[in-house]
């Protein structure tokens, strides 16, 4: 019984993860295919997630992340997310590019906050919950560089650590440039990094000072005593 309960919990958490990684939403059949289970099992898992508001089903019977997911995320990292939002909004507006806050989870860089630039221009398909390999993409490289050197780490991580920022070109998304800088945090705090994503090479080429300034501003805000 315990094993069955553990398996159900693990499948439910996996279902939550796969719909978090699909901003366009997924049907029960698509979730079942990704979990490798029968559609009826996927439907029961999704029904439980909807009941607890961790998922929501739209009129087209597609499942997306629900409000409880975001509420829990904010409770888990309230000071970081609250402090990051105004910094990311200003950065996105100033550069006319997508600004993100990423944190490490296992071997991935996970977006916990994403702000699109104002206006009606082109939008990147990049959302909260997006997961990229730590060793690829500007955000992941900045997160690795925020940690102490490790044996066998890629040479470019040391380069990012030395200069304080990472830049990549079409490494994760075709036609997209990335610029990222790690936050300066206490040794007992998990790493975090600010990332800018843009389709425009000229924006990426000029974005480094703004990204570094934003990372410094957010680092300073997080270091202030509560109530300051």
For 188-211, the pLDDT digits (tens) are 778 899 999 999 999 999 999 999
- Indicate if 9 and 90 belong to the same structural domain: no
| Percent of the chain whose pLDDT exceeds 70 | 89
- Indicate if 113 and 217 belong to the same structural domain: yes
| Whether pLDDT at 10 is above 70 | yes
Band of the pLDDT at 162, cuts 50, 70, 90? very high
Q: Provide the number of structural domains found in the chain.
A: 2
Pair 138, 144: CB distance under 8 Å? no
Which residue among 70, 92, 108 closes a domain? Answer: 70
Range of the domain at 24: 2-70
Q: Which residue has the tokens 């990472």?
A: 166
Instruction: Return left, alpha or beta for 127; rule: phi > 0 is left, psi -120 to 50 is alpha, else beta.
Output: beta
Pair 88, 101: CB distance under 8 Å? yes
Say how far apart CA 35 and CA 147 lie, in whole Å: 33
- Quote the pTM value: 0.68
Q: Which two tokens stand for residue 97?
A: 């590019």
- Indicate if 185 and 93 belong to the same structural domain: yes
- Indicate if 88 and 18 belong to the same structural domain: no
- Indicate if 112 and 206 belong to the same structural domain: yes
| Whether pLDDT at 227 is above 70 | no
- Indicate if 206 and 123 belong to the same structural domain: yes
- Indicate if 166 and 189 belong to the same structural domain: yes
The reply to whether 228 falls in a domain is: no
Element (H, E) at 13: helix 2-20
- Indicate if 39 and 88 belong to the same structural domain: no
| Whether pLDDT at 114 is above 60 | yes
Per-residue pLDDT tens over the stretch 13-41? 899 988 888 878 899 999 999 999 999 99
């Amino acid at each position: 019984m315990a094993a069955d309960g553990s398996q159900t919990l693990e499948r439910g958490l996996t279902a939550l993860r796969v719909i978090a990684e699909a901003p366009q939403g997924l049907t029960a059949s698509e979730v079942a295919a990704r979990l490798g289970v029968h559609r009826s099992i996927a439907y029961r898992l999704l029904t439980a997630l909807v009941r607890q508001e961790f998922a929501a089903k739209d009129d087209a019977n597609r499942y997306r992340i629900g409000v409880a997911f975001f509420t829990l995320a904010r409770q888990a990292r309230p000071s970081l997310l609250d402090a990051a939002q105004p910094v990311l909004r200003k950065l996105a507006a100033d550069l006319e590019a997508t600004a993100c806050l990423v944190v490490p989870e296992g071997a991935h860089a996970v977006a916990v906050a994403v702000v699109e630039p104002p206006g009606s221009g082109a939008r990147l398909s990049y959302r909260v919950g997006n997961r990229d390999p730590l060793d690829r993409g500007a955000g992941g490289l900045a997160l690795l560089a925020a940690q102490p050197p490790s044996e066998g780490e890629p040479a470019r991580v040391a380069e990012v650590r030395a200069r304080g920022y990472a830049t990549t070109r079409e490494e994760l998304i075709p036609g997209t440039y990335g610029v990222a800088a790690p936050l300066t945090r206490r040794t007992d705090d998990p790493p975090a990094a600010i990332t800018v994503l843009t389709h425009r090479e000229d924006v990426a080429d000029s974005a480094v000072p703004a990204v570094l300034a934003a990372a410094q501003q957010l680092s300073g805000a997080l270091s202030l005593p509560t109530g300051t």
